[in-house]
Amino acid sequence: MNREQLIKKLVTIVGPQGVVHDREQLRTYECDGLANYRAIPTAVVLPETTEQVQAIVKLCHRHKIPFVARGSGTGLSGGAMPIEEGILISLSRMRRILEVDIPNQRVVVEPGVINLWVTQAVSQYGYYYAPDPSSQLICSIGGNVAENSGGAHCLKYGFTTNHVTGLEVVLPDGEIIHIGGKALDTPGYDLVGTVVGSEGTLGVVTKITLRIVRKPETVSTLLAAFDTIEQAGAAVSQIIASGIVPAAVEMMDPLSIEAVEAAVHAGYPKAGAVLIVELDGPFLEVEDQFNKVKDICLHNGSTEIRIARNEEERALIWKGRKSAFAAVGRISPNFYVQDGVIPRTALPDVLREIEEISAQSGIRVANVFHAGDGNLHPLVLYDASIPGQEEKAEQVAGEILSICLRYGGSITGEHGVGVDKKKYMPKMFSEEDMNAMHMLRCAFDPEGICNPGKVFPTPRLCGERPGPGKIHPLQEAGLAEIF
């Protein structure tokens, strides 16, 4: 089937308004939030119903055309980057909130629904949707499901995977399955848990049942300044060790503080490190624990503690933190957002090593992190107009991941592997581990047409199996090139 025929078929499924094929318009979709990987797809199709998604996927399956599902395109690992010669399925027109079920603490949505809309829909009943990635104003629930998005508050409340109870999925052969539901512990394999975080490689999610949680009675937020990162890190460890589970613990280093101040004037003090601690829950509990947190910060040498007295002050503290990535654009023409995880206790050691790499390479690194769960977001700053700097920055970013792994951590805490980090997968997982993951993939997508080329470093074939877990002979011989 040639391109014109394919577009004609897509138009019969979704109508002319639902297909983008003009080359200039296609450029809009050439990348997601990670702009240094780009590809222009054959066409972008914008379905409005599950049936349309199914028809598109069946068409792709019949003609072995690779496809990529995309939400708002805010992902930071290239997971929604299109495949050249493939179809991009944009789910942004499937944005209905289908059901709000307060007594059962569930909301059923379509994948294009924006994260924040869920909270807005249930706020009047005293509930909210807990996962809050920094992009929550624009990122979609479908994208959150694909990436298993986290956010600042997942220390206490968990990630997307802990808040999705049911899914409708169009499998890569066009079959529709309904897994999980409003109920928990449904019989069979935990396919919901398997699909969440699979980065769009196991199917296209068309309906999501979310768990919502009761709004806490009180939220208290403080900002504490320290002379050194070590002091701030010690305070975090002591808070956690005292049995307190804060809603959020965020840390920023001087470079990121400087950037944020230049950008949004959040009023952060000049300091060696800034810690944001938020507690939520019943009034008495928060009051009791908040005092402990203050004492711990002072005990660890905090030079200044600011307590948000009202919602505006709280919002200002968070505005600084949540705009940190964008703010860095003010102090550096280009930057790369890294996402690695370490055991929380390794924080001071890891930061020292990052500092050393930065000094050696001459590449500046600003550090912003979810300190409570050891999720680092080093911002690697560079100037692409200086020859060699981009490569050097990439090298620094890679070395940071190696450090994370050496301390027993992970190559990604919430941004996903996508195309960006697939080359690091073998550093974290053995060939056998990835082979098991590949077996899972073959059960879902034997043709390898669903978001191919993502997550795993080497494409493999399913199909005729020479034995469990064997690499396909064609691939072994270096002949398989399916993507």
Partner 1 sequence: MAILDITDKLPNIEIENTPTNIDGVQPEYIAKPESPTDTVEILKYAHQKGIGVIPFGSGTKLGWGNPPQRCDLLINTTKLDKIIEYSPDDLIVKVQAGIKLEELQQELRKHNQMLALDPPEKSATIGGIIAANASGPRRLRYGTTRDLLIGITVALTNGDLVHGGGKVVKNVAGYDLCKLFTGSLGTLGVIVEAVFRLHPLPTKSFILKVNIKDLDQAERCTQQILNSYLVISALEAHCSSTGEVSLWCMVEGSSENIARSTAEALRQILSNYGDCQVFDLDEDIAVYDNLRQYPWEADDLGIKFSSTISRLKPIAMLARSTSQQHGCEFELRIHAGSGITYLAVKGGKNLPVDAQVSLIQSIREALTSEDSAMVLEASLPLKQRIDVWGYAGDALPLMKRIKDQFDPAKILSPGRFVGGI
Give yes or no for a contact between 217 and 313, defined as CB atoms under 8 angstroms apart.
Answer: no
Q: How far apart are CA 289 and CA 299, in angstroms?
A: 15
Q: Which of residues 379-418 bind partner 1 (CB under 8 A)?
A: 408-417
In the set 73, 78, 131, 197, which binds partner 1 (CB under 8 A)?
197
Q: How far apart are CA 291 and CA 277, in angstroms?
A: 12
Interface mask (CB under 8 A) for partner 1, residues 7-46, using x and -?
Answer: ----------------------------------------
> Torsion angle, CA of 181/186/190/193, rounded to 10 degrees?
40
Between residues 264 and 341, which has the closer beta carbon with respect to partner 1? Answer: 341
Nearest distance, CB of residue 253 and partner 1, angstroms: 19
Nearest distance, CB of residue 265 and partner 1, angstroms: 30
243 near partner 1, rule: CB under 8 A: yes
Q: Which of residues 166-185 bind partner 1 (CB under 8 A)?
A: 171, 175-179, 181-185
Contact window for partner 1 (CB under 8 A) among 88-96, 224-232, 280-288, 301-309: 280-288
Between residues 362 and 408, which has the closer beta carbon with respect to partner 1? Answer: 408
Contact window for partner 1 (CB under 8 A) among 314-322, 357-365, 462-470, 471-479: 462-470
Interface mask (CB under 8 A) for partner 1, residues 311-350, using x and -?
Answer: ------------------------------xxxxx-----
Between residues 41 and 281, which has the closer beta carbon with respect to partner 1? Answer: 281
Give yes or no for a contact between 383 and 335, defined as CB atoms under 8 angstroms apart.
Answer: no
Q: How far apart are CA 277 and CA 250, in angstroms?
A: 7
For the four alpha carbons of 427, 433, 438 and 443, in that order, the dihedral sign comes to negative
428 near partner 1, rule: CB under 8 A: yes
In the set 323, 395, 402, 435, which binds partner 1 (CB under 8 A)?
435
Between residues 18 and 281, which has the closer beta carbon with respect to partner 1? Answer: 281
Helix (H, G, I), strand (E, B) or coil at 219: strand
The residue with tokens 């920094």 is 134
* Binding footprint of partner 1, residue count (CB under 8 A): 93
Contact window for partner 1 (CB under 8 A) among 25-33, 351-359, 379-387, 460-468: 460-468
Sorted by sequence, the CB contacts under 8 Å of residue 7 that are 6+ apart come out as 19, 21, 42, 43
Between residues 303 and 410, which has the closer beta carbon with respect to partner 1? Answer: 410
156 near partner 1, rule: CB under 8 A: no
237 near partner 1, rule: CB under 8 A: yes
Between residues 88 and 146, which has the closer beta carbon with respect to partner 1? Answer: 146
Between residues 202 and 276, which has the closer beta carbon with respect to partner 1? Answer: 202
Q: Which of residues 82-121 bind partner 1 (CB under 8 A)?
A: 103-106
Residue 102's CB is within 10 A of a number of other CB atoms, namely 13
Contact window for partner 1 (CB under 8 A) among 21-29, 275-283, 302-310, 350-358: 275-283
In the set 153, 321, 364, 421, which binds partner 1 (CB under 8 A)?
421
311-322 helix and 254-264 helix, angle to the nearest 10 degrees: 120
What single letter denotes the amino acid at residue 39? Answer: A
Q: Which of residues 202-231 bind partner 1 (CB under 8 A)?
A: 214, 216-217
Helix (H, G, I), strand (E, B) or coil at 306: strand
Q: How far apart are CA 166 and CA 163, in angstroms?
A: 9
Between residues 105 and 475, which has the closer beta carbon with respect to partner 1? Answer: 105
What are the C-alpha distances in Å from 260 to residues 110, 132, 233, 267? Answer: 35, 20, 21, 9
Between residues 250 and 258, which has the closer beta carbon with respect to partner 1? Answer: 250
Q: How far apart are CA 304 and CA 225, in angstroms?
A: 5
> Torsion angle, CA of 150/154/159/162, rounded to 10 degrees?
-170
End-to-end CA distance of the chain: 17
Phi/psi at 151 (nearest 5 deg)?
Answer: 135, 180
Give yes or no for a contact between 78 and 454, defined as CB atoms under 8 angstroms apart.
Answer: yes
Contact window for partner 1 (CB under 8 A) among 8-16, 54-62, 150-158, 306-314: 150-158
240 near partner 1, rule: CB under 8 A: yes
Between residues 193 and 329, which has the closer beta carbon with respect to partner 1? Answer: 193
Nearest distance, CB of residue 432 and partner 1, angstroms: 4
In the set 35, 98, 137, 284, which binds partner 1 (CB under 8 A)?
284
Instruction: Report the DSSP beta bridge partners of residue 218.
Output: 281
Instruction: Report the DSSP beta bridge partners of residue 380.
Output: 336, 365
For the four alpha carbons of 323, 246, 222 and 227, in that order, the dihedral sign comes to negative
Q: How far apart are CA 136 and CA 373, in angstroms?
A: 20
